[in-house]
Structure 1
Amino acid sequence: MARLTGKVAIVTGAAQGMGAATARLFAAEGAKVVLCDILEEAGQATAAEIGGDAWFRKLDVRSDSEWEAVVAETVERFGQLDILINNAAIVHFSPIEAMPAEDIERVLAINVMGTMLGAKHAARAMTAAGRGVIVNISSVDGLRGCNGLSAYTASKWAVRGLSKSLAFELGPRGIRVCTVHPGGVNTQMGNPAGLEGDALNVGYERVPLQRIGEPEEIARASLFIASDEASYISGAELAVDGGWSAGYYQPFLPGAPAGLGK
């Protein structure tokens, strides 16, 4: 089923991980996909692997001028822009008192300003067409707090709030805006040690589905929102986190999995 036939999508952070999985899925569903990333070699390789109309464009999401150029070149090349997946992001682990100001600035610049600039330039192209979808990738940490992740959590809550505002601002123009909130995902960011097998799911025992997610599972959520099947959905949050945002199992209460907490 080609749910994105005739549509053109930009996906950021598309050289690897969730972005690459999203680009592959969108192309398989009929979209022309522009893959954007600062990782030029990996991005070119991913686009070549996808083939067809997949096209890589180097992009630093912090740059207003680069965003303007990418959107303009996309419209010039493909005639339109229907979908933006703001996926590019970084994570930073540190207690707040040990975090240099430049690290805070970098997280907020990539995760928040990059998302805002993408929406800014995509909105212009989408407004001209009278339609569009922007999917901003937040996080389970945009739905709750977490120790050691203050800058990242702040950035993902900002993406969540930004998306609510954009849903109001852009809705009358025919543009839908939603957030996707992944939990732990088996990517370079979510599994930097490259764990496999049983070791991969250590630490997820108290999450309802008791495992890490795969990039393709996040991509399928973005596909649904970007498709016409979600035509009356905007301003919504879709948690794709194995139930993590619902809470944790309490090991010694009824209903907990056998052996939990031993």
Structure 2
Amino acid sequence: MTGRVAGKIALVTGGGSGLGAADCAALAREGATVIVTDVALDSAQRVADRIGNGALALALDVADEANWLSVIAEIDRRFGKLDILVNNAGIVQMADCEDVTLDQFRRVNAIMNEGVFLGCKHSLPLLKRADNASIINMSSTGALLGFPIFFAYSAAKGAVRSMTKSIAVMCQEKGYRIRCNSVHPGAIETPMVQEAEGRVGQEQPVVAGVLPPGAKGAPEDVANMVLYLASDESRFVNGAELVIDNAVTIRPF
């Protein structure tokens, strides 16, 4: 199947690397015009140049409301609508509740909690102009399990999970043609995971087929789910939390 999101305009935050870059590539491959945003514009531009199909790179600090407003205004000026919003940008802070500082906690939540709020809030006017729009919020298995060392990260991802459901119901109640779902990856081979594990740049090859317990997924595994949720194939999937973790969260030990 090709052209699954042909003609759609997609905005991806944190699109300069990792999961975001994989999401951008998958959406562009299936026909979407992708706005690649990242706090590092050079990274976003490299991804936009690589994926083609009219991709546009814009600088975006998702914790900055004024920056969001300027990006949305630029998308409005160029395209007049938005079909797909992928709130992907994130950071990780390794510290438990006793050790994390208030500044660290606030910074993590500013990016992944407030950033998703701002993205949804300010994108809605453009999303409402689309025929069948989709918001995809990147949460985590950290929102579903107890991970003491990722306290701030898990708190932010839990907020993303909850906000997603509220937005999905709100859009239905107000008659907006917008779905909203959250994606909950487990351990995925990304630069952020490598940094947390102290092995930056040591990428593992993508393994084909069913993975054994404990194996990490590839960014493309998450991007394939994002592509499905972005397409009209998932029209009956709304307010859901889709877990991509190779059965980690359901194991009895």
TM-score in same-fold range (> 0.5): yes
* 1:176 corresponds to 2:156: no
After TM superposition, give the deviation of residue 129 of structure 1 in Å: 3.6
Ranges in structure 1 where 5+ consecutive residues have no aligned partner: 202-206, 251-262
Contact residue 167 and residue 177 of structure 1 kept, 8 A:
yes
Query: 2-side partners of 1:136 and 1:223: how far apart?
Result: 13
Q: Which runs of 4+ in 1 moved over 6 A?
A: none
Judged with a 3 Å threshold, the aligned counterparts in structure 2 of structure 1 residues 101 and 26 are, in CA distance, closer, same or farther, namely same
**Greater gyration radius:** 1
Query: 2-side partners of 1:129 and 1:167: how far apart?
Result: 16
Query: 2-side partners of 1:216 and 1:181: how far apart?
Result: 14
Query: 2-side partners of 1:166 and 1:197: how far apart?
Result: 36
Q: In percent, how many aligned pairs have the same letter?
A: 38
After TM superposition, give the deviation of residue 30 of structure 1 in Å: 0.1
Query: 1-side partners of 2:251 and 2:156: how far apart?
Result: 21
Deviations along 1:117-150, one digit per CA (max 9) or x if unpaired, are 0000111111234541100000011111112111
* 1:57 corresponds to 2:58: yes
Contact residue 208 and residue 243 of structure 1 kept, 8 A:
no
Q: Which residue of 2 aligns with 1:154?
A: 155
Matches within 5 A, 1:99-248: 99-129=100-130, 131-171=132-172, 172-192=175-195, 193=199, 194-195=201-202, 209-247=213-251
Secondary structure class of the residue paired with 1:173: coil
Contact residue 65 and residue 118 of structure 2 kept, 8 A:
yes
After TM superposition, give the deviation of residue 39 of structure 1 in Å: 1.1
After TM superposition, give the deviation of residue 74 of structure 1 in Å: 1.2
Q: Which residue of 2 aligns with 1:40?
A: 41
Aligned length, in residue pairs: 243
Contact residue 14 and residue 20 of structure 1 kept, 8 A:
yes
Contact residue 185 and residue 191 of structure 1 kept, 8 A:
no
After TM superposition, give the deviation of residue 197 of structure 1 in Å: 5.4
After TM superposition, give the deviation of residue 95 of structure 1 in Å: 2.3
After TM superposition, give the deviation of residue 155 of structure 1 in Å: 0.6
Query: 2-side partners of 1:238 and 1:24: how far apart?
Result: 20
Secondary structure class of the residue paired with 2:184: strand
> RMSD of aligned C-alpha atoms?
1.9
Ranges in structure 2 where 5+ consecutive residues have no aligned partner: none
Query: 2-side partners of 1:197 and 1:141: how far apart?
Result: 22
Letter in 1 for 2:224: R
Secondary structure class of the residue paired with 2:128: helix
Tell me the TM-score normalised to structure 1 length. 0.88
